Amino acid sequence: MLAACAEIILVGMAIIAPSQGVDRAADTLIAERAHDILVSRCLRCHGGVREQAGLNLAWRDRALQTRPKGPPAIIPGNAAASALLMRVLHDDPELRMPAEAPALSADEVATLRAWVDAGAVYPVLWSLRPIEEQMPAAGPELLWNTHGIDRAVSLRLASAGIPLPPEAAPESLVRRAALDITGLPPDPALVSAYVADPSPAQWDHTVDALLASPAFGERWARIWLDLARYADTKGYEKDARRDVWRFRDWLIDAWNSDMPYDQFTERVLAGDLLPGATENDRIATTFHRLTLTNDEGGTDNEEFRVAAVMDRSVTTWLAWMGTSMQCVQCHAHPYDTIDHRDYYAALAFFNQTADADRDDDSPLLHVAWERGTTTVPVMQELPVSAQRETHVFTRGNWRALGDVVAPSTPACFPPHGARRSDRLGLAKWIMDPANPRAARVEANRIWETIFGRGLVETLEDFGEAGARPSDVTLLDFVASRLQKLGWSRKALIGEIIKSRTYRMSAQPSDAALRIDPDNRMMSRAPRFRLEAEAIRDQSLAVAGILDRSMHGPPVFPHQPDGTWMVVYSGDGWTTSEGGDRYRRAIYTFWRRSSPHPSLMNFDAVSRETCTVRRIRTNTPLAALAAMNDPTFVEAAAAFAQRAIDATPGASDTERARWMLSAALVRTPRHEECARLAQLAAGERAVGTATAQPSSEISVWSAVAATIMNLDEFLSRT
């Protein structure tokens, strides 16, 4: 603990650069504001997609170009002569820009004018600037000044006039950390140890114990399974099975062994190209073999090979760089300075693998395991003699071949330089410290996983049209920590969770509700519904029936009959026997065309494409699943039995207290226990009235189901 803090302070003191974030020159601010106006009001029509009237304002050189009619849109230093200003100020509503939209405000026009007169310098997008590796400035409260995150958060709260929040109750903190780190409720021993000694040292010990649990990898791998569009089937019409679970296990193990993010990236993108590549290095490349394969009769394998290659490139840019490339398949990026040609140059890194949408999914790697051998589709580079040319596709059509392009990265990013022009070269370029995106994107993803919302809310878009960071100093601090920690994501998660910011109470103060209603300043601990997997896993764990076995082929927990109606295949769902029915959700068989419906009701994604962010919704279908899905019904009954066994001879109120405490990991209030006791009594009375005495198990199952549907139980608080 002390060592970690000292290191953070040293980092802060070692960098004595002026804070550009605070003292940015006035003309830079005007340039940023002017550019924001272009992005929000102009680029929709005069950007990379439409280029209305042949004008693209996304690129400075294109905005300055000579035009067939009239002056250039922008003449640096001469706003009065620039078509941009003339058109936004035009008297005739038919000619005034933006077309068919409200006019710019006087203030916006003044900004554009000042910016053009000052030379119309396009600002460098915030996410492309070097990461500012500095300790955030200290706030007014000494206790909040040790940890960089706490400094940034407390300074912001103090300057907004929001009192620093108190710490959450110790037992609630342990539940919060256990769910965030492991996706499971905490071991009672861990709770009681921290409640007995809620000291900073004991907190650090608690966090470290959770990070050491194998459940950590199972929880954090889920995020990368969404990014990897991981499924146990191939997709499209037949959606036949595919053995790829070894990759899922590799991913879990990579998190548990804390594989540094740079090594992780090299293995996932190009493990096969590493010198002396091991079996595990090759299994890691299954990441990009999880693209869809179309076995439908009559399909052109080259068409779907190309589709898979495009998906690999798009997924890589989305997952690692926070850049949406998909749109650039057909035209230049609408908002960012990424050209049509750049898409194909980026894709060229991925165009030299031997796979080709074959029904057998080759090339395959044969991997031995306890119960025999499994074959995993992997990436394999074509021999030099057989390598392909990569062409630009005119308007994105794979049959309309344009120029040949060589592998390279878009010019708005740091140059690819003399690196190898293959996947390994791309991986090394992504992870180069000179590329500020990789650390920002991954640090932001970790932040979002813990706090429910990223410092950049649009995890999928760090470009011009994406959200701006709520606190760029804080984001850069966290991103630079990830780099400084040798790309150890586990260490960064530990640092975040050891902060006071993390330990805040979720209870908002009046000032917090008034000044920061959406909690963008972190004026209280975020409270949000758990993800699909955690909802299932927590219920099984609290019921005492969760099977903690790790790894192996996917399992088939209960699913309603008739859910799979599969075209051209007799494949059916056979519910697993024994412990496999109660494994963690991450091991559930995932059929793309028909994913497990209960998990889907809690916003799991079908994994046909890379998903960066699940959008939480609150629907009656989720309520129906939580009340009536046989898995949850079974969990409620098991929890009831557990309670009966644990509290022999207890009063209804006492038993309800035990159950609430076991499920919610806090001291129940008396009125809560009393209300549940009333429910139990009511259930018993109904049984008596109908002359069919209710069994105690059915009485307490009703109580258990009630607890397991509580908003608090379903939420991270």
Partner 1 sequence: MVATPAEYMAELQAMTRRQFLGNSAWGIGGIALAAMLGSEKSAHANPVSLPPAGSVVDPLMVRAPHFAARAKRVIFIHLAGAPSQHELFDWKPALVRHNGQPCPDELLKGEHFAFIKGHPTLLGTPYKFARYGRSGQELSELIPHLASVADDLCIVKSCTTDQFNHAPAQLLLHTGDARFGGASMGSWLTYGLGSEASELPGFVVLVSGDKTPDAGKSVWGSGFLPGAFQGVQCRASGDPVLYVKNPDGVDRAGRRRMLDALQDLNSMAAASAADPETDARIAQYELAFRMQASVPDAMDISHEDAATLEAYGATPGKASFANNCLLARRLSERGVRFVQLFDWGWDAHGTSATDDILTQLPKKCKESDRPVAALINDLRQRGLLDETLIVWGGEFGRTPMAEFRDGKKDFFGRDHHPHCFTVLLAGGGCNAGTTYGETDELGCRVVRDPVPVKDLQATILHLLGLDHRRLAYRHAGLDRHLTGVTPDARIHAGLIA
Stretch 425-484 residues interacting with partner 1 (CB under 8 A): 458, 460-461, 463-466
Q: HSE (CB half, 13 Å, CA atoms) of 381?
A: 17
> Given the complex with partner 1, which of 36 and 279 has the nearer CB atom?
36
Interatomic CA distance for residues 176 and 633, integer angstroms? 25
> Given the complex with partner 1, which of 263 and 316 has the nearer CB atom?
316
Question: Site residues for partner 1, window 5-44 (CB under 8 A)?
Answer: 44
Residue 457: phi and psi, rounded to 5, are -65, -35
Question: Site residues for partner 1, window 327-356 (CB under 8 A)?
Answer: 327, 330-331, 333-336
User: Using the rule CB under 8 A, is 661 a contact of partner 1?
Assistant: no
Stretch that binds partner 1, among 114-122, 197-205, 232-240, 277-285 (CB under 8 A): 232-240
**Which tokens sit at 152?**
């940034």
> Given the complex with partner 1, which of 264 and 393 has the nearer CB atom?
393
Q: How far is CA 339 from the centre of its chain?
A: 26
> Given the complex with partner 1, which of 620 and 648 has the nearer CB atom?
620
User: Using the rule CB under 8 A, is 400 a contact of partner 1?
Assistant: no
Closest approach of Cβ 35 to partner 1, in Å?
15
Provide, for the chain, the percentages of residues in helix, strand and coil under a 3-state DSSP scheme, each rounded to the nearest 5: 50, 5, 45
Binding mask 248-287 for partner 1 (x = CB under 8 A): ----------------------------------------
User: Using the rule CB under 8 A, is 594 a contact of partner 1?
Assistant: yes
Q: Name which position in 145, 263, 285, 294 contacts partner 1 (CB under 8 A).
A: 294
How far are the Cα atoms of 104, 110, 163, 445 from residue 442, in angstroms, in the given order? 37, 38, 30, 5
Q: Name which position in 499, 606, 647, 661 contacts partner 1 (CB under 8 A).
A: 606
User: Using the rule CB under 8 A, is 715 a contact of partner 1?
Assistant: yes
Interatomic CA distance for residues 588 and 248, integer angstroms? 11
User: Using the rule CB under 8 A, is 669 a contact of partner 1?
Assistant: yes
Helices 532-543 + 630-646 axis angle, to 10: 30
Closest approach of Cβ 1 to partner 1, in Å?
31
Q: Name which position in 15, 19, 20, 90 contacts partner 1 (CB under 8 A).
A: 90
**Which tokens sit at 14?**
């070692």
Question: Site residues for partner 1, window 103-132 (CB under 8 A)?
Answer: none
Stretch that binds partner 1, among 14-22, 362-370, 409-417, 601-609 (CB under 8 A): 601-609
User: Using the rule CB under 8 A, is 627 a contact of partner 1?
Assistant: yes
Question: Site residues for partner 1, window 489-548 (CB under 8 A)?
Answer: 506-508, 513, 518, 527-529
Closest approach of Cβ 597 to partner 1, in Å?
5
Interatomic CA distance for residues 414 and 400, integer angstroms? 30
Stretch that binds partner 1, among 108-116, 249-257, 325-333, 382-390 (CB under 8 A): 325-333
> Given the complex with partner 1, which of 344 and 602 has the nearer CB atom?
602
Question: Site residues for partner 1, window 52-81 (CB under 8 A)?
Answer: 52-53, 66-72, 80-81
Question: Site residues for partner 1, window 675-694 (CB under 8 A)?
Answer: 675-676, 678-679, 682-683, 686
User: Using the rule CB under 8 A, is 45 a contact of partner 1?
Assistant: yes
How far are the Cα atoms of 71, 248, 326 from residue 223, in angstroms, in the given order? 50, 11, 21
Closest approach of Cβ 429 to partner 1, in Å?
21
User: Using the rule CB under 8 A, is 711 a contact of partner 1?
Assistant: yes
Type of residue numbered 638: A
Closest approach of Cβ 97 to partner 1, in Å?
11
Closest approach of Cβ 100 to partner 1, in Å?
8
The DSSP line for 168-232 is PPHHHHHHHHHHHHHSSPPPHHHHHHHHH---HHHHHHHHHHHHHSTHHHHHHHHHHHHHTT--S
Interatomic CA distance for residues 559 and 575, integer angstroms? 8
Q: In which element (H, E) is residue 356 found?
A: none
User: Using the rule CB under 8 A, is 698 a contact of partner 1?
Assistant: yes
> Given the complex with partner 1, which of 197 and 300 has the nearer CB atom?
300
Stretch that binds partner 1, among 13-21, 106-114, 355-363, 625-633 (CB under 8 A): 625-633
Closest approach of Cβ 627 to partner 1, in Å?
7
User: Using the rule CB under 8 A, is 320 a contact of partner 1?
Assistant: no
322: left (phi over 0), alpha (psi -120 to 50) or beta: left
Question: Site residues for partner 1, window 539-568 (CB under 8 A)?
Answer: 560-563, 565-567
Q: Name which position in 21, 630, 647, 650 contacts partner 1 (CB under 8 A).
A: 630
> Given the complex with partner 1, which of 23 and 94 has the nearer CB atom?
94
Stretch that binds partner 1, among 169-177, 218-226, 292-300, 577-585 (CB under 8 A): 292-300
The DSSP line for 61-107 is HHHTS--SSSS-S--TT-GGG-HHHHHHT-SSTTTSSSTTSPPPPHH
Q: In which element (H, E) is residue 352 found?
A: none
Please name which of 336, 312, 341 lies closest in space to residue 324, comparing C-alpha atoms.
336
The DSSP line for 107-173 is HHHHHHHHHHHTT-PPPPPGGGSPP---PPPP-S-GGGSSSHHHHHHHHHHHHHT-PPPPBPPHHHH
DSSP H helices, 498-647, are 510-515, 532-543, 597-601, 620-628, 630-646
User: Which residues in 455-473 are b (16+ Cβ under 10 Å) and which e?
Assistant: bbbbbbbbbbbbeebbbbb
User: Using the rule CB under 8 A, is 324 a contact of partner 1?
Assistant: yes
User: Using the rule CB under 8 A, is 593 a contact of partner 1?
Assistant: yes
> Given the complex with partner 1, which of 174 and 707 has the nearer CB atom?
707
User: Using the rule CB under 8 A, is 318 a contact of partner 1?
Assistant: yes
Please give the angle made by the CA atoms of 295, 300 and 301, to the nearest 5 degrees: 65
User: Using the rule CB under 8 A, is 609 a contact of partner 1?
Assistant: yes
> Any residues with CB less than 8 A from the CB of 397 and at least 6 apart, and which?
none
Please give the angle made by the CA atoms of 136, 137 and 142, to the nearest 5 degrees: 110
Binding mask 191-230 for partner 1 (x = CB under 8 A): ----------------------------------------
User: Using the rule CB under 8 A, is 239 a contact of partner 1?
Assistant: yes
Q: HSE (CB half, 13 Å, CA atoms) of 478?
A: 32
Closest approach of Cβ 535 to partner 1, in Å?
13
> Given the complex with partner 1, which of 155 and 168 has the nearer CB atom?
168
> Any residues with CB less than 8 A from the CB of 682 and at least 6 apart, and which?
none
User: Using the rule CB under 8 A, is 629 a contact of partner 1?
Assistant: yes
- When computed from its CA atoms, the radius of gyration of the chain, rounded to whole angstroms, is 28
Q: Name which position in 608, 647, 658, 661 contacts partner 1 (CB under 8 A).
A: 608
In contact, 286 and 247? CB cutoff 8 Å: yes
How many chain residues are in contact with partner 1, going by CB under 8 A? Answer: 121
Q: What number of residues does the chain have? A: 717
